[in-house]
């Protein structure tokens, strides 16, 4: 698939399939590998002739959906999947952020214990609001 065809496929087969409520009213980041992100940028240049930015649109944003941006994620290396969810559906809980470097190391009975009051995680509030392609993007 050419870069130009990839942009068309993402517009027609992915973004337009997201329910209208989320497609137009929420900030969305289309997450994909960095390789696919670069291919998307090239496809935007080819499809919309934005080599010199005369249109004024960023290369990592859809022309008709200004609330949807493209993000290349290191965690998606060698993956062909594309997914998105409203930014408000993502959360990053942290407990004891000021203690993140404070550890208590205890050595008892030839065992080592690391104790801390800090933790963090990432998550999704409503899994039903995660939109993902069924096939491959490229």
The answer to whether residue 72 scores a pLDDT higher than 80 is yes
The answer to whether residue 135 scores a pLDDT higher than 70 is no
Q: By C-alpha distance, which of 135, 98, 138, 89 is closest to 120?
A: 98
pLDDT of residue 20: 93
* Interatomic CA distance for residues 67 and 15, integer angstroms: 11
* Interatomic CA distance for residues 26 and 10, integer angstroms: 18
Residue-wise pLDDT for 2-59, tens only, equals 999 999 999 999 999 999 999 999 999 999 999 999 999 999 888 887 665 555 557 8
Alpha-carbon distance values, 62 to 30, 67, 86, 102 (Å): 10, 8, 16, 44
Query: 68 phi and psi, to 5 degrees?
Result: -115, 120
Q: How many CB atoms lie within 10 A of CB 89?
A: 18
The answer to whether residue 137 scores a pLDDT higher than 70 is no
**Rg value, the chain, Cα:** 20
Residue-wise pLDDT for 85-134, tens only, equals 999 998 887 776 666 677 778 888 888 887 777 777 888 999 999 999 87
């Amino acid at each position: 698939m050419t870069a130009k065809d990839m942009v068309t496929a993402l517009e027609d087969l992915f973004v337009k399939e997201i329910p209208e409520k989320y497609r137009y009213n929420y900030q969305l980041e289309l997450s994909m590998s960095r390789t696919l992100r670069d291919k998307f940028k090239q496809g935007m240049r080819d499809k919309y002739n934005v080599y010199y930015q005369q249109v004024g649109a960023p290369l990592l944003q859809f022309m008709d959906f200004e609330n949807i941006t493209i993000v290349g994620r290191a965690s998606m290396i060698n993956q062909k999947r594309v997914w998105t969810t409203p930014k408000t559906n993502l959360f990053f809980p942290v407990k004891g952020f000021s203690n993140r470097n404070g550890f208590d190391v205890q050595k008892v009975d030839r065992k080592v214990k690391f104790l801390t009051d800090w933790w963090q995680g990432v998550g999704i509030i409503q899994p039903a609001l995660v939109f993902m392609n069924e096939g491959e993007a490229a």
